[in-house]
Structures are given as C-alpha cells and as structure tokens.
Amino acid sequence: MSTLNELPVVVIGAGPVGLAAAAHLHERGLPFTVLEAGDTAGAAVRQWRHVRVFSPWRYNIDPAARRILDEAGWIAPDLEALPTGAELVADYLQPLAELPQLKPHLRYGARVEAISRLGMDRLRTAGRDTTPFLIRLADGDEVLAQAVIDASGTWGTPNVLGASGLPARGEGDVAAYLEHALPDVLGADRDAFAGRHTLVVGAGHSAANTLLSLAELAADEPGTEVTWAIRTTSPVRTYGGGDADALPARGALGSRLREHVDAGRIRLLTGFSVHALTPTDGRVGVVVRHADGSEESVTVDRIVAATGFRPDHSIAAELRLDLDPVMGATRALAPLIDPNEHSCGTVPPHGVDELAHPEPDYYAVGMKSYGRAPTFLMATGYEQVRSVVAALAGDWDAARDVQLDLPETGVCNSNPAASATGDSCCGPSPTADPAARGLATGISGGLLSAPLGLITLDAAPAGGQTGGCCGG
C-alpha cells in the first residue's frame, strides 16, 4: 500500500469551489483526484444555466484557477459583466476542467456513497490520523485518500415546502406538480407554466427570479397567473439594498420589486405557512395554516418551492464531525455565518481553523460548509479552499492568513427584526426607510422586472423563512 502522503487529496465535486480546490492543489504540488457525480464540470450550475448572477465576473473567478488559465492563453471575460450560469460553465469552468493540469485528475460519473477510514469505524481512535480515508462510490469502486475536501454542495437537497422544517402533509403525493428552485420558466420549462396558475413559495433571490420570469411569461401568455407566498408578515426583506449595495445589479433587483409592488400582476400572500397539499382534478389544493391556528386553502396548477437548501452529511456518517445543532456547519463557523446576524457581505474571513472537524484532514467547503445558512458567496468558497490547501501543504502561516474582499451589501439576514443589536446587518439601522435591509439572496441572480401586488393573510410565525444561497 502507498504511504499516506503518496495518496491523493480527494475533492468531491467539480463545481466552482471544487475546481478551485484542484487548482490550488496543483499549485502546491499535492496529488489530487476530483470525483464528480455528474457527466461534466459544473453539473449543478448547468441546472440554472438560464439565470444571470448578480455578482460580476471578478468575484466569480478563483485566483489560482485564473493563474493556470492565463498560462494556457485563456481570454478572460469582461470582469465587470454579469455571467449567466451557462456562461459561467462555458467561459470558465469547462476551460478550467480541460486544462492538462486538471483534466487527468477528474473522474465523472463518480458519485460518492460513503466516506470512512480504511478498516476503521467512527469508534476507533488509535492510529486514526495516519490511516487513509476510504471513499466508496455508488458503483462499488473504492478510492483511498490522504485528505478529503468535500465541495459537493447542497443543490441535490432542497428544503421541504412545509413549515417547521417538515414536509407538508401530502407533499410527496404532489411531486408531479412541484418544482424546486429556478425552473427555466421562459425556456425549457415554458409549457409547464404558460396559461397556468403557479404558486411560488419563498422569500429569497431564487424565488424572486422565478416570480419575475413568470411575470414576463404572463405578459405573453393569456391565462398565466402568479401567486407569491412568504411566511413572514412583511415583504421588506425581499426588497433590495438599492444604493447601499456595492453590486449594482443586486441592489437594483429588489428596488424594482418594490416599485412594482402596487401593480397587481403578481399576488403576494404574507403569513403563508403550507400545511397540506392534495391533488385535485389535475391541480393542487394547498391548505394554509396561520399563526392563530386558522386555515384556508388555495388551488393552483404548479408550485415552485424556492425555500432554500440544506446539507446532506450522511456520506460522512462514519467520520467524526462536530456540527452546530442549528446551522449544520462546524461549531466554529456557525456564529460567523448565522443569517439572523449576517448577510453575504458581512461574513468575516474564515479558513481552515473554522472549517476543521475532530476528524483530521476532512473539510466540507463551499455551500455545504454553510449548512442551512443562505449567506454563501463563491468568493468565500475560494478563500476557504486556498486556506485548506495551504494547511494540507503544511504552510500554516498562509493557511491562517485569511482575507476576504467582499462588496458592501444591502442584502441582509433572514430575520432583520431579530437583530440583537438593533442594527441592520448592512450597517446601522436606517431611521426612516427600512427597505435598505434588502433582499435575501438565492442561488443566483438576474431578476427581470415585474409588478407585485400585496395581500396580507395573517401573522406568520416569528423568524420567518430563510432564502437560498448567494451565488453558489
């Protein structure tokens, strides 16, 4: 058997953060293998290829990846332009994955089923830190590794539609009528929504993106109706940060939403908590439960559950993880990313120390590292993997010199009213205009303009609903 340091560092996932980890491992001269469940690099990004992100290219390109791309004569895109998911793959991720420094180390169709230590379960301690990781794939193949960087993300594990973190009654029975975040409303999925009544549940960026696409569709397709439902009592969190946001595209998104709120093309229901779902003559009956226990119902043709994502740590069940019981992130990282206190732009720099588990040399990075927090940005993931790879190379000075240059943001936490200090996560609370506590972002951006109408149903449970991520 090879000695431990001759084995590769295994990276799980060939998305933006996984490929960035590979670039840093190459620069550090460490052997590595990237295991990707999909058939191509950026497989999850391709699922939202039609969506334009709100951050310009300069925040979406990892520095190590840029260096090796430049060496190969890569022509960089306009760093101030806003890419779509398709452009992110075609102009960056695919060229990166095709580089000779990375391509031989990528394995596609390699879905990880479980991670353990060779010959050891979670109980055994003696010799654990000198024993290789054993990574079992869904096809039965096994891979040994000196370390594991899990950048598998959360795209495959969306949050449920029901309240209280539990599926709504009958949620499984209406799967044929249910879409998760960011369907291609104006493209491949157009026929599923044209001329139909769609209910979008969620208060984050991915919900807003879908709503505004539906509004555009409704202008062209008679009979198309759009209802937007949020659990909170006010849509204030869904308005953008406007001029307070250093990303102009992101700041303008919610501003446009706010301008359209009175036009009535989208009906907004507040205090809306999904309790039960029932197939009804080719449609779906949705039972709503309010804070006072009363119920009412609405019948729709389609439902989009834009309620965010959660991590799946089951593949690491035989590893020693120390997870925060609320966030599902490491205990050290959780308070730094808590969406009750932080937005994407107020998360402090963090690296290997905050990402470490009791299991030596296992690190979850990127979206997965944030657990259920929706405050992740790609730039944050790039700094994470730079720090982790430096530590694996033994360069602890570099590993702990964590720095993060994020834009000032008007995009705020999941429950602005709950701030312990009374200040907005975007800075001091405004004295008059609460709209600066802006949009809780989803996976990506690019909102179209559409008018919104507001109807208050009832009071919602305190704390409300978290949005999606901020640019995974």
Mean pLDDT for each consecutive 10-residue tract of the chain (472 residues)? Answer: 84 98 98 98 95 89 98 96 96 98 98 97 94 97 98 94 90 94 95 96 83 89 91 67 55 62 76 91 91 86 94 96 95 91 76 97 97 89 97 98 71 33 30 32 32 36 33 39
**Residue entry with tokens 């992100």:** 53
The one-letter code for the residue type at 427 is: G
Cα dihedral sign for 380, 383, 389, 394?
A: negative
The first and second tokens of residue 296, run together, are 């009412």
Residues 6+ apart with CB under 8 A from 452: 211, 228, 235, 257, 260, 261, 262, 263, 265, 266, 268
Q: What pLDDT score does 342 carry?
A: 67
Give the residue ranges of DSSP H helices in 285-360: 334-337, 352-355
Supply the pTM of this predicted model.
0.83
The pLDDT value given to residue 198: 96
pLDDT of residue 424: 28
Local structure of 79: helix, strand or coil: coil
pLDDT at 446: 30
Rg (alpha carbons) of the chain, rounded to whole number: 22
Q: Burial-class residue 188 by CB neighbours within 10 Å (0-12, 13-18, 19+).
A: exposed
Question: For position 140, what pLDDT does the model report?
Answer: 95
Q: What is the pLDDT at residue 414?
A: 34
Residue 288's pLDDT is what? 87
Residue 441 has a pLDDT of: 36
- pLDDT score of 201: 93
Q: Give pLDDT, residue 344.
A: 63
* pLDDT of amino acid 271: 83
- Residue 2's pLDDT is 56
